[in-house]
Amino acid sequence: MIKNLFNLDLRSLALARVLIGILTFFDIYRRIPELDTFFTDAGILPRWIFLQQYELNYSMTLLSLNGSYSFALFVAIMGMLASVTFALGWRTRLSNFIVWITIFSFQNRFPEAATTGGDLLIKIFLFWSLFLPMSARYSIDRAVNETHLPNNEYKSVFTAAWIIQVFLLYFMTFLYKWAPVYHTTFDAVYFMLQLDHFTTPVGTWLGQYLAVTRFLTFAAYALEIIGPIMLLIPFRRDLFRGAAVVSFWLFHLGIGLTLHLGNFVPICLIIWVGLIPTAWWNYLGEKLKVSSVAMKTLYYDGQSELARKLGLIAKELLLLDSVKVLSSQLNPQVQGFFTPGKGFVLQDDGSKIITNHSVLYQLLLSSRILPLRVLGKIANSEISLSLSDAKETGEVIMFSDKPVDSKASDSSSQSIKKLCSLLIEIIGFDKVKIKLNKFERFMGGFLLILVIGWNIEGYVKDRKWSIGSPFDEIMFALNLSQGWAMFAPHPQRVDGWWVMDGTLKNGKKWDAFNNKAVSFERPGDMYDTYATDNWRKFLDNIQGSRNMSYFNLLGNHICRRWNSLNPGERSLKSFKMYFMREFTSGPTEPQSPVEKVQLVKQTCL
């Protein structure tokens, strides 16, 4: 029992890979509109100031190499492309590495705008993924290399790292939250749901009911200690692990319904996907079996290596377990159905042959993925109308969609084939690596011990017990530094909104930061007053730290940006930036008045 405690299912890792690829694609994409603001020399924090004053030791970033917009955009595009190939399992390890570097490059370039728990989790689990067989199932790499792995369960020091990292996330959070507001008065969720710059409409509604918020506090706090322990129960592993997976999915979906926490909720859901137990997959496999009517053999043009690879990729990614992929040269009966530009023929047990574009629709119909089968049925509906025109030849019945003979179609087909061939030749494929060498096993064990020690050190805060140098440098260099004091030991009690009291050159009063008339009235939806999550996190951080250097940098940036877009009489002459501070009172305390706090005073040259 104990020897299988740290096993992970390869199908769970594959699904986690797909979802991480999708999440990182959009995580990088959302930064593109803000490249000039946060990640270039034209933004709030130019490189020379960042390198002199704010760069953390050994926290590297590619964006330190060049401060231009075009370079930052290039890094972002490369990261997005790598996210796509990582999700597809194409050059999986290389793609994983590129995505990891891209993600931490953006996070490390402007840490004040990227210090959420979600940001930490993404780069940490991207690192652990580098040493796991993420492509062992449902990947292009596995398909092309025709890797045969009969056992779906896999164990290594890095599967243990994945599980223990999840354990540490919740267990350390539980320890950091050991305070009366969590275990005595149970008012923690109440305080969270009073933070209007975090709270969703559902959260605002729930925050009115004190009995509900207290029950949620108790339930969430109990889950944060019981759930991770369930991962380490050696008997009936799949039962307890499955219960933990479902519990934390519901927990994080609830958080997502009530609080705006950026990428924290999706990455938490995904790391639990990696822990889906084998029993679930076996049950789903039985339920998702496609009927025996599905086509059995996909023949490709035996003279085309590209067609062979594409056939294997289709079988893998569409989950066509019952479909064989064979060369047409092995079956003279189907050889005559191959025409120039038509690379595939689909045949069942010898009675039906399908050619041309109908092959794709029938492959979709044969997939074990329900949405793809539905798509195949929709796309195939028109083709089925032509069955009466089927050409019968002995026992063989050929079904084909309407022939496309135009030169434009042939030219387009050839162009697509050349592009696919070029991409495959340039990118290539990775082999699915299962076995670790001695150095990798040692390194994995060493890093896992280091991560555990780092978490203990962060909690005890006793400088007599410190992992120290050079271990600190290793943790920062690999972006494994972490801390899970989220909403601890007490949820944030400071809320508010930002107002600029600006004066234009023509004498008009104008809030150039929010691009509206100056108003100190409380906004209806405080969350919408922040342009993006990066802006919200950045302003929240500097408001909390009261770092005057950042306020000066922000003021200079606002002057520069506004005046470059509004020259002449509408240019900004000077302004004062206020934070309208609301302190959240306890549920039985009188409401505190709004405090007008001046944080920035700037004259634009």
Residue 256 is predicted with a pLDDT of 96
Final residue belonging to a domain, choices 387, 404, 427:
427
Is 393 a residue whose pLDDT tops 70? no
Q: Is residue 486 domain-resident?
A: no
Q: How confident is the model at residue 562 (pLDDT cuts 50, 70, 90)?
A: very high
Residue 171 is predicted with a pLDDT of 96
Neighbours of 330 (CB within 10 A): 11
Is 323 a residue whose pLDDT tops 80? yes
Of the listed ranges 20-34, 159-173, 282-296, 420-434, the least confidently predicted one is: 282-296
Neighbours of 387 (CB within 10 A): 9
What would the pLDDT profile of 177-187 be if each residue is shown by its tens digit?
A: 999 999 999 99
Question: Do 417 and 440 sit in the same domain of this protein?
Answer: no
Question: Do 548 and 442 sit in the same domain of this protein?
Answer: no
Amino acid at 593: P
| Residue 78 C-beta-side C-alpha neighbours within 13 Å | 18
**C-alpha to C-alpha distance for 298 and 353, rounded to whole angstroms:** 10
Question: Do 264 and 129 sit in the same domain of this protein?
Answer: yes
Q: Are 37 and 44 in contact (CB under 8 A)?
A: yes
Which residues face 327 on adjacent strands? 300
Question: Do 94 and 153 sit in the same domain of this protein?
Answer: yes
Quick one: the chain helix, strand, coil %, rounded to 5? 55, 10, 35
Residue 394 is predicted with a pLDDT of 37
Amino acid at 518: V
Question: Do 107 and 200 sit in the same domain of this protein?
Answer: yes
Residue 360 is predicted with a pLDDT of 80
Is 297 a residue whose pLDDT tops 60? yes
What would the pLDDT profile of 363-379 be if each residue is shown by its tens digit?
A: 887 787 778 877 777 76
The tokens describing 409, both together, are: 């179609």
**C-alpha to C-alpha distance for 308 and 153, rounded to whole angstroms:** 29
Neighbours of 233 (CB within 10 A): 15
Alpha helices in 110-198 (DSSP H): 117-129, 140-145, 157-176, 180-183, 188-192
CA angle 142, 6, 27 (to 5 degrees): 60
Is 397 a residue whose pLDDT tops 50? no
The tokens describing 487, both together, are: 């909403």
Residue 288 is predicted with a pLDDT of 67
Is 413 a residue whose pLDDT tops 70? no
Q: Which among 192, 191, 203, 207 is positioned nearest to 257, based on CA atoms?
A: 203
Name the 3-class secondary structure at 362: helix
The tokens describing 204, both together, are: 């605002």
**C-alpha to C-alpha distance for 299 and 305, rounded to whole angstroms:** 12
Question: Do 190 and 329 sit in the same domain of this protein?
Answer: no
Q: Are 459 and 150 in contact (CB under 8 A)?
A: no
Is 136 a residue whose pLDDT tops 60? yes
Final residue belonging to a domain, choices 448, 477, 506:
477
Question: Do 210 and 71 sit in the same domain of this protein?
Answer: yes
Question: Do 361 and 338 sit in the same domain of this protein?
Answer: yes
State the average pLDDT for the chain. 87
Residue 426 is predicted with a pLDDT of 74
Q: Are 567 and 543 in contact (CB under 8 A)?
A: no
Report the pLDDT averaged over residues 127-139.
Answer: 95
Alpha helices in 31-110 (DSSP H): 35-38, 47-49, 69-88, 92-109
Alpha helices in 231-387 (DSSP H): 237-258, 264-273, 278-287, 305-317, 332-335, 358-366, 370-384
Question: Do 41 and 85 sit in the same domain of this protein?
Answer: yes
Report the pLDDT averaged over residues 154-163.
Answer: 96
Residue 522 is predicted with a pLDDT of 92
Q: Are 275 and 210 in contact (CB under 8 A)?
A: no
Q: Which among 424, 436, 437, 435 is positioned nearest to 141, based on CA atoms?
A: 424
Of the listed ranges 193-197, 374-378, 381-385, 410-414, the least confidently predicted one is: 381-385
Whole-Å CA distances, 79 to 17, 98, 385, 414: 15, 6, 45, 29
Q: What is the CA radius of gyration of the chain?
A: 29
Report the pLDDT averaged over residues 562-591.
Answer: 92
Report the pLDDT averaged over residues 385-414.
Answer: 46
**C-alpha to C-alpha distance for 140 and 452, rounded to whole angstroms:** 35
Q: Is residue 308 domain-resident?
A: yes
Residue 525 is predicted with a pLDDT of 87
Q: Is residue 575 domain-resident?
A: yes
Q: Which among 366, 383, 375 is positioned nearest to 325, based on CA atoms?
A: 366
Question: Do 230 and 114 sit in the same domain of this protein?
Answer: yes
Q: How confident is the model at residue 337 (pLDDT cuts 50, 70, 90)?
A: confident
Residue 404 is predicted with a pLDDT of 43
Q: Is residue 289 domain-resident?
A: no
Cα 170 from chain centroid (whole Å): 19
Domain span including residue 55: 2-282+436-477
Q: Is residue 89 domain-resident?
A: yes
What would the pLDDT profile of 60-108 be if each residue is shown by its tens digit?
A: 899 999 999 999 999 999 999 999 999 999 999 999 999 999 999 999 9
Q: Are 324 and 331 in contact (CB under 8 A)?
A: no
pTM higher than 0.85: yes
Report the pLDDT averaged over residues 113-136.
Answer: 92
Q: Is residue 56 domain-resident?
A: yes
Q: Is residue 566 domain-resident?
A: yes
Is 510 a residue whose pLDDT tops 70? yes
Neighbours of 591 (CB within 10 A): 9
Which residues face 598 on adjacent strands? 578
Q: What is the largest CA-CA distance in the chain?
A: 91
Question: Do 81 and 136 sit in the same domain of this protein?
Answer: yes
Q: How confident is the model at residue 465 (pLDDT cuts 50, 70, 90)?
A: confident
Q: Is the peptide bond before 593 cis (omega within 30 degrees of 0)?
A: no
What would the pLDDT profile of 438-452 be if each residue is shown by its tens digit?
A: 999 999 999 999 999
Question: Do 441 and 418 sit in the same domain of this protein?
Answer: no
**C-alpha to C-alpha distance for 517 and 527, rounded to whole angstroms:** 19
Q: How confident is the model at residue 466 (pLDDT cuts 50, 70, 90)?
A: confident
What are 301-305's contacts with CB under 8 Å, separation 24+? 301/328, 301/338, 301/343, 301/344, 302/327, 302/328, 302/329, 302/330, 304/343
Whole-Å CA distances, 186 to 106, 214, 418, 488, 495: 37, 5, 63, 13, 20
Residue 388 is predicted with a pLDDT of 39
Which residues face 504 on adjacent strands? 572
What would the pLDDT profile of 482-492 be if each residue is shown by its tens digit?
A: 999 889 999 99
Q: Which among 70, 65, 61, 76 is positioned nearest to 28, based on CA atoms?
A: 76
Q: 341 burial class (0-12, 13-18, 19+ CB within 10 angstroms)?
A: middle
Q: Are 316 and 140 in contact (CB under 8 A)?
A: yes
Report the pLDDT averaged over residues 459-474.
Answer: 81
Report the pLDDT averaged over residues 581-599.
Answer: 92
Residue 350 is predicted with a pLDDT of 58
Q: Is residue 488 domain-resident?
A: no
Domain count, the chain: 3
